[in-house]
Amino acid sequence: MLPLDGITVVSLEQAVAAPFATRQLADLGARVIKVERPDVGDFAREYDRTVHGDSSYFVWLNRGKESIELDIKDTADRAVLDAMIAQADVVVQNLIPGAVERLGLDAATLRAARPELVYCSISGYGPDGPFRSKKAYDLLVQCEAGLLATTGSPDEPAKVGVSVADIATGMYAYSGVLSALLRRFRSGEGATVEVAMLDALGEWMMQPTYYAVYGDRPTVRTGAKHASIAPYGPYRAGDGNTVFLSVQNDREWEGLCRRVIGDTALIDDPRFVHNTERVEHDAEVTVLLEKAFAAYDADDLVDRLDEVGIACARMRTPAQFHEHPQLQARDRWRSVMTPGGQAIDALLPPVVLSDAAPAMGDVPSLGSHNESLRAEFARMARVLA
C-alpha cells in the first residue's frame, strides 16, 4: 500500500509548478485527475516535441495522471467538474491570477461547502500585495528573487539552467498538501495552502541575501565558483580538462596542502588560514591549485582527491547523467509509456520507501480519460444538479 492510496486530487493545472507537485502525489499513490482545456490542453504539452513527439516538460511532470478535457464555462462540463471536486480530498490550482475567484472555484467557496477539503493555490507573488495580479514565469521570478544577480559571469548574468523557481514552488506545494492531509487525518479539518513562487525561491535565496545585507557586501557573480567558500569550483588539470572540488573547512584545506599541493607552509599562511581569507584571495588559491594539478590528468586528479578525502566531481552533460554509473548500479530507472505509445526512462523519486515502490504510471494523452471519468461522475453530477 502506498501512502496516498485512496486520496483523490483534482488539479486545475498548467505549466510546471502545480504539475510537479501533483506528480509527486501521484507517485505516492494518489489518484490525480488533471483538468485540461478542450483541444489544446496544458500548454506545456507544446513546449517542445523532443520525446517521441511529446514535450520533455510534459512527460517529466505528468506521469501517472488521468486527463480529462473540460470547458469550465460550459454548464454540463462544469457539472462534471463539480462532481469530481465533491469527491476530492485535494484541489490544486495554478491558473492565472483571479481566474478561480471569477469561476467560483476559489478556496473560500469550495471549503465553505466542504471544510474537510485540502485546497492548494499556487501563484507567482501571493494573494495580496501590489504584485498579486502579475503573471509569473520561472525566469521572471528568478529575476525578482535576486537569483540572476548571483549566477553567471562578472560580465553577464545567466539564468539557472532548470526551472528552479517552479521546482521550488512545486516542492513546497507538495509538502504543504502532505502536511494538511496529516493534520486532516488527526482533526478532520481541511486547510487552505498558499504557495507563491517568489516566497518559495526566496527561501532558497536567503544565504546570499543574508551575506549581502548583513555582510554589507555587494553581490558578485562568480561563474561556476562559489561566492563565499574557497576553494570551491572548477580547476584545470594537466591534460587541460576540468575538475571541480570543494573544501568546506580548515581541516580539509590542511589535507589538500599536505597531500596534493605538497606545501605545508600554505596551511598557516595568513592569506589562506581560514575560509574568509581564502575567499578574499581566491585568485591566488586558484593559481596554487592549478600549478599543483598540472602534474595530473583529470582522471588521476579525481582519484587522488578521493583518496585524500577532498570532495570532487567531473562535469557531465545531461545525456551523460542519463548514463551515470551510480544510477545504473542502483537501478534508478523505470520504464513509463508516453502519449504516443513509446517507452521512456523515468528516474525514480528521490525519496525511497523501504517497503513500497512508487506508482510511476504512464503519461496521459490529452483527454485520454474523458469517457471513463465522465461516466464515473455523471451520476454525482445529476445528484448535485
Grid cell, residue 251, equals 581541516
Q: Bridge-partner residues for 353, per DSSP?
A: 356
**What are all long-range contacts of 131-135, with beta carbons under 8 Å and residues at least 24 apart?**
131/198, 132/97, 133/97, 133/98, 134/97, 135/96, 135/97
Q: Which residue has the cell 532558497?
A: 204
Overall size of the chain counted in residues: 385
Q: How many angstroms separate the CA atoms of 348 and 211, rounded?
A: 35
* Strand arrangement, sheet containing 191-196: 65-69, 31-36, 8-12, 90-93, 118-123, 191-196
DSSP string across 358-377 = ----PPPPTTTTHHHHHHHH
Q: Which of 52, 226, 322, 324 is catalytic?
A: 226
What are the start-end ranges of the E strands in the chain? 8-12, 31-36, 65-69, 90-93, 118-123, 191-196, 232-236, 242-246, 311-313, 333-337, 343-347
Judging by beta carbons within 10 Å of its beta carbon (0-12, 13-18, 19+), is residue 129 exposed, middle or buried?
exposed
Backbone angles phi, psi at 220, to 5 degrees: -125, 150
CB atoms within 10 A of CB 80: 23
- Quickly count: other Cβ atoms within 10 Å of residue 310's Cβ: 20
Active site residue 322: no
**Is the Cβ–Cβ distance between 164 and 42 less than 8 Å?**
no
- Given the C-alpha cell 485535494, which residue does it identify? 90
Contact 290, 231 (CB under 8 A): no
For residue 183, the SS3 value is helix
| Whole-angstrom distance, CA of residue 4 vs CA of residue 85 | 17
Catalytic residue IDs: 226
